[in-house]
Amino acid sequence: MTGVVGAVRGAVDGDCLVGRCRKEGCTVSLGGAPRNRLVVDFDKPGSPLGPDQARCDYLFVAEAAGRALVGLIEVKKGRIDASEARRQLQAGARGAEPLVPSCRSIVFRPILVSGGGMRRAERTAMRRAYVSFHGRREPLRRMACKARLMSAFAP
């Protein structure tokens, strides 16, 4: 194992660790996620990001089959602004980089979870939006509320 979950657990205040991803009435299912995992709520007291910093909602870290799975999650209930979601996810990535040791076996996903539809312009912007993490760029992935988080890590 990579030891990424342990490294992150040791670097964050236990008060911001949560057992589920739920904001604004929208839930992300952790069903099928590896047991060796943790979820950091960046909005909770004790978060590694300051209260006035831009941020996404969650950092998900897990270990499975010798790989580290790292997901940054932004949850939106209403109208989606792709550029704002990308900005929040990138801010979360900058905040997570010191917490998550860099290694080749990291599978990184920036994830936008939403319950509503998207206008055509926002769908186009989403296809062009990328987030950088430890020198790698990944496109934003969109999921519906109640979807399984692990589907974002499928190839």
pLDDT-above-90 percentage for the chain: 70
Taking alpha carbons only, the member of 146, 142, 72 closest to residue 113 is: 142
**Both tokens of residue 3?**
């030891």
Q: Hunting for tokens 């799975």 — which residue is that?
A: 69
77 close to 26: Cβ distance less than 8 angstroms: yes
**Residue 58 structure tokens:** 């969650």
Per residue in 43-56, pLDDT (tens digit) is 998 888 888 888 99
Q: 3-class DSSP state for residue 51?
A: coil
Could you tell me which of 62, 2, 7, 74 has the C-alpha nearest to residue 38? Answer: 62
- Position 82 scores a pLDDT of 87
**Overall size of the chain counted in residues:** 155
pLDDT, one tens digit per residue, over 97-145 is: 999 998 888 999 999 998 877 788 888 888 899 999 999 999 999 999 9
